[in-house]
Amino acid sequence: MQKTLLCLHGWGGSGASFTELREALAGTGITVLAPDLPGFGGEPEPPEPWDTDAYADWVTAYIRENVKGAYALLGHSHGGRIAIKLAARLAQGRQELPQPTHLFLCAAAGIRHPRHIRRIIGLTLAKAGKSLLSVPGFAPLQAAGKRMLYKILRVHDYENASETMRQTLVRVSQEDLRPLLEHITLPTSIFWGEEDAMTPLSDGRLMHERIKGSTLITFPGIRHRVHRERAEAIGKSVRIALSKDTNA
């Protein structure tokens, strides 16, 4: 039976971020699909600011067009957020789509913290600061001032994005996917770096607690790029899981 692993990348990344995982799965008979999500890599931006549901709709259309037969779903960071949304939709009967055989979450986003509120406030202040720096007389300081402002507020993703993607970032960051986790019924494997400062390990533990029957594998000394820095270990887990799913 053909086995496909559909990989969804994180914010600011692209399908190329799964190069190491693709190499780890070479020769296993598993087809790895890793599309660029709208607004990243070579894929055009959305026509308007999107939320997580809009990304989930796009992935649904991609699956219908490109995935044949059994498939598993893997998401890193923002891609994990989308994967959670899709898995919950399927479990609730709100999505007409073939069911994935397995869900893999790598440092998945989707758990909202007070720091996200501070981040959104920071985005607003960053925009206001940009307007201030554009006032005549401040123009010579604009470039350096913007860099300093964004560094202080830690909103580099916002700095590098277009207006459409800035508003998209705000929208996806505002949603807390916590209520969806208990609805997920897919076999689920969760991978996390123990030193992740972007999506803390506590998020992974919470997902593991609320997704029934899930497994959590953590990696000491690894930060947010767990899907790249521990691709061999994740690839091995994928091979074992898909073998079990196929034989089930």
What is the domain partition of the chain in residue ranges?
A: 3-112+176-247, 117-170
pLDDT in tens, 67-95: 988 999 999 999 999 999 999 999 887 76
Query: Which of 53-67, 107-121, 183-197, 233-247 is least confident?
Result: 107-121
pLDDT over threshold 70, residue 127: no
pLDDT over threshold 90, residue 244: no
Q: How confident is the model at residue 160 (pLDDT cuts 50, 70, 90)?
A: low
Mean pLDDT value of segment 98-116: 88
* 179-209 as b/e: b if 16+ CB within 10 A: ebbebbbbbbbbbbbeebeebbbebbeebbe
Average pLDDT, the chain: 85
Q: Which CATH number fits domain 3-112+176-247: 3.40.50.1000, 3.40.50.970, 1.25.40.10, 3.40.50.1820?
A: 3.40.50.1820
pLDDT over threshold 90, residue 107: yes
| The pLDDT of residue 53 | 96
pLDDT in tens, 188-237: 999 999 999 999 999 999 999 999 999 999 999 999 999 999 999 999 99
pLDDT in tens, 9-55: 999 999 999 999 999 999 999 999 999 999 999 999 999 999 999 99
What percentage of residues in the chain have a pLDDT greater than 90? Answer: 67
Beta bridge partners of 192: 218
| The pLDDT of residue 115 | 56
